[in-house]
């Protein structure tokens, strides 16, 4: 069996995130290392942004699911957007409530479509492509709108499942919980992958690679089309 079920305080329909990480990293190790090295060379500060372990996780997910179009909520300086487009060559549509802090890097920025000064409630009601992957790094996200702009089958990663300082549950956990509630009530099957507190700050240790995923949770959803 690919992933083993485990009981959690979030939901019993959760899958082993450590198994998933080890599988996707080992299946894509050489390509993943190359993608990670590229991000390391970019002149983008990682202060108040995603960690290197979270960069590795996002890129591993991209290499696994091979998204064509990615939704992002929470642009900041663009570190996560560049992370994903480097590992997938997907177009990334991203919004942020604040003024643009996005750092332009000519080689990759043409794949990233920024919407600064735009709350996700407004952004998700615009004319957008259908997304097969989403990265959520923001508060107060309307998950019904997320489902509406995504394909029937998609993968969503939520940052800050835990607060990096207090280790308490944070905005990422809240997003995933609302995703589960919506999926249960609207005919979606799902698998959820929950990080561990002791992965902070270095990530889940992967043999002969390093730490992957400090505090990202993930859910994979698929419309069940009335099937039991």
Judge whether 97 lies within some domain. Answer: yes
pLDDT at 46: 80
Please give the average per-residue pLDDT across 178-190, as a whole number.
96
When pLDDT is averaged across residues 4-18 and rounded to a whole number, the result is 58
Query: In the predicted model, what is the mean pLDDT of residues 181-205?
Result: 96
Task: Flag whether pLDDT at 123 surpasses 70.
Answer: yes
Q: What is the mean pLDDT of residues 116-144?
A: 96
Over the chain, what is the mean pLDDT? 92
Number of independent structural domains in the chain: 1
CA distances from 76 to 40, 171, 178, 206 (A): 17, 16, 24, 28
Give the confidence band of 1 by pLDDT, cuts at 50, 70, 90: very low
pLDDT of res. 11: 46
In a domain, residue 160? The reply is yes
**Which pLDDT belongs to residue 149?**
98
Domain hosting 183: range is 10-223
Residue 41 within a domain: yes
Could you tell me if residue 203 is inside a domain? yes
- In the prediction, which pLDDT does 227 show? 56
Residue 2 resides in a domain:
no
40 belongs to a structural domain: yes
Tokens of 198: 């002791």
Alpha carbon distance 192, 16 (integer Å): 8
- Beta carbons within 8 Å of 85's beta carbon, 6+ residues apart: 70, 91, 92, 108, 111, 112
Supply the CATH number for residue 180's domain.
Answer: 3.40.50.150
Encode 29-61 in three state secondary structure: HHHHHHHHHHHHHCCCCCCCCCCHHHHHHHHHH
pLDDT, residue 102, reads: 96
Give me 120's structure tokens. Answer: 């996700």
The reply to whether 5 falls in a domain is no
For residue range 54-100, what is the model confidence (pLDDT) as tens digits? 999 999 999 999 999 999 999 999 999 999 999 999 999 999 999 99
Distances (CA, A) of 87 to 6, 61, 93: 29, 9, 15
The CA-atom distances, in angstroms, between 58 and each of 76, 166, 226, 227, 228 are: 16, 23, 31, 31, 31
Asked if residue 1 is part of any domain, the answer here is: no
Q: What is the rounded distance in angstroms from the CA atom of residue 30 to the CA atom of residue 26?
A: 9
Residue partners of 30: CB distance under 8 A and separation at least 6: none
Q: Which residues contact 93 (CB under 8 A, 6 or more apart)?
A: 69, 70, 71, 72, 113, 115, 128, 129, 131
């Amino acid at each position: 069996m690919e992933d083993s079920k485990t009981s959690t305080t979030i939901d019993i329909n959760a899958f082993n995130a450590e198994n998933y990480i080890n599988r996707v990293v080992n299946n894509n190790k050489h390509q993943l290392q190359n993608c990670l090295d590229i991000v390391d060379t970019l002149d983008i500060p990682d202060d108040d942004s995603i960690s290197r372990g979270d960069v590795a996780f996002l890129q591993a997910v991209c290499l696994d699911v091979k998204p064509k179009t990615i939704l992002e909520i929470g642009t900041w300086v663009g570190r996560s957007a560049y992370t994903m487009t480097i590992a997938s060559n997907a177009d990334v549509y991203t919004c942020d409530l604040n003024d643009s802090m996005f750092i332009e890097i000519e080689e990759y920025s043409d794949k990233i479509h920024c919407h600064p000064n735009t709350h996700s409630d407004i952004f998700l009601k615009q004319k957008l492509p259908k997304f097969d992957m989403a990265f959520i790094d923001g508060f107060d996200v309307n998950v019904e709108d997320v489902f509406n702009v995504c394909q029937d089958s998609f993968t969503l990663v939520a940052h800050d499942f835990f607060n990096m300082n207090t280790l308490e549950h944070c905005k990422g956990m809240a997003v995933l919980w609302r995703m589960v509630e919506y999926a249960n009530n609207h005919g979606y099957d799902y698998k959820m992958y929950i990080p561990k507190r002791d992965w902070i700050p270095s990530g889940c240790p992967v043999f002969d690679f390093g730490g992957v995923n400090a505090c990202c949770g993930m859910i994979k959803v698929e419309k069940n089309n009335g099937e039991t």
